[in-house]
């Protein structure tokens, strides 16, 4: 099977250090899984993921669940409840959400069993709602894994790539609307950026989170290539990557906090009366996760999002 995630590609290499950022801790995201612990101490669950670590372990090892061996898939299912979500299920649920928003069925495609047929006509908007309203409408994928509900580059259950005209992710739908309505490349880029600003997701395990972020980044690359027949410039890639690293964040969804608390101090001067256990406990306070409200141009706590329900 062809590598679905290519860390050595131009778009990813250009933005990798941004894609590894944790905006809450101002450090890097952590592994939050022991799947790579055999590579050494720097690859254990509480260690930060760095570009150098990824290069040393072989870029090709960071791949979606479908590319992992069956033993590792089973272990991750038991330990982290990690499962496949086939594209047809993602499509069915996204179709339901769009039916609620648009007020009519089969807006982007018509589902037939485990397949779907994309609509050919330009998307029709109901009275009182415009295409720009749809782009700005916020969507959140909880415990997003590789983000199959947001960006459907491939079917998570088979690993098969999905042609751009058949993609069914929430972000894909927004970008189709931008394609159909933007008058020129300047307007297209403006509303594509707003589409990225309006989709959110969180994930616990660091490798899944990185894959999700790359899937969104490569979605930007794919749509620009398809619409304007060019690769994004480095500045464009970095701008989109920064949005992604804010909007697709690492979180313990049950607590609304960074997984495993604050990273341990590299060195700690113990007092005469401290025990090792006390030092360990003192260094893992819970940290409330931050996200970004792009319309207000300000960072907020995730718990504020839950209270206000603006997604």
Return d(Cα 60, Cα 3) in angstroms, integer: 7
Question: In the predicted model, is pLDDT for residue 131 greater than 60?
Answer: yes
Question: In the predicted model, is pLDDT for residue 70 greater than 50?
Answer: no
Question: In the predicted model, is pLDDT for residue 173 greater than 70?
Answer: yes
Q: What is the pLDDT of residues 138-156, one digit of tens each?
A: 999 999 999 999 999 999 9
Return d(Cα 275, Cα 23) in angstroms, integer: 32
Count the residues in the chain.
Answer: 311
pLDDT at residue 283 in the model: 55
Q: What is the pLDDT of residues 179-238, one digit of tens each?
A: 999 999 999 999 999 999 999 999 999 999 999 999 999 999 999 999 999 999 999 999
pLDDT at residue 285 in the model: 73
pLDDT at residue 264 in the model: 47
Q: Which helix (H) or strand (E) holds 248?
A: strand 248-250
The pTM of the full predicted model, rounded to 2 decimals, is 0.89
Question: In the predicted model, is pLDDT for residue 266 greater than 50?
Answer: no
Residues 109/118, Cβ–Cβ less than 8 Å: yes
Which are the contacts of 197, defined by CB distance < 8 A and separation ≥ 6?
A: 243, 247, 294, 295
Angstrom distances, CA of residue 187 to CA of 41, 158, 179, 190, 195: 48, 36, 10, 5, 12
Higher pLDDT, 218 or 271: 218
Question: In the predicted model, is pLDDT for residue 262 greater than 50?
Answer: yes
Residue whose C-alpha is closest to residue 73's, from 169, 160, 162, 156:
156
Which are the contacts of 96, defined by CB distance < 8 A and separation ≥ 6?
A: none
Return d(Cα 49, Cα 277) in angstroms, integer: 25
């Amino acid at each position: 099977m062809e590598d679905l995630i290519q860390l050595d590609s131009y778009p990813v290499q250009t933005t990798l250090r941004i894609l590894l950022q944790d905006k809450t801790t101002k450090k890097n995201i952590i592994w939050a899984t022991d799947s790579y612990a055999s590579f050494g101490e720097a690859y254990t669950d509480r260690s930060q993921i760095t570009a150098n670590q990824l290069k040393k372990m072989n870029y090709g090892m960071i791949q979606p669940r479908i590319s992992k061996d069956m033993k590792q898939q089973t272990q991750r299912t038991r330990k982290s409840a990690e499962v496949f979500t086939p594209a047809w299920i993602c499509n069915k649920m996204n179709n339901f959400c769009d039916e609620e928003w648009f007020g009519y069925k089969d807006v982007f495609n018509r589902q037939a069993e485990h397949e779907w047929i994309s609509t050919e006509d330009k998307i029709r908007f109901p009275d009182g709602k415009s295409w720009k309203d749809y782009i700005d409408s916020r969507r959140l994928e909880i415990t997003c894994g590789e983000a199959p509900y947001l960006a459907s580059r491939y079917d998570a259950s088979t690993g098969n790539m999905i042609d751009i005209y058949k993609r069914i992710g929430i972000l894909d739908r927004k970008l189709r609307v931008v394609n159909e309505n933007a008058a020129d490349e300047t307007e297209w880029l403006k509303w594509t950026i707003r589409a990225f600003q309006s989709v959110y997701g969180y994930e616990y395990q660091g490798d899944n989170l990185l894959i999700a972020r790359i899937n969104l980044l490569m979605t930007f690359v794919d749509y620009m290539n398809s619409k304007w027949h060019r690769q994004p410039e480095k500045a464009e890639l970095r701008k989109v990557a920064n949005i992604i690293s804010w909007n697709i964040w690492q979180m313990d969804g049950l607590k609304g906090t960074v997984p495993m608390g604050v990273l341990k101090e590299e060195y700690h001067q113990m007092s005469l009366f401290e025990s090792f256990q006390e030092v360990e406990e003192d260094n893992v306070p819970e940290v409330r996760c931050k996200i970004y409200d792009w319309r207000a141009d300000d960072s907020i706590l995730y718990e504020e999002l839950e209270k206000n329900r603006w997604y």
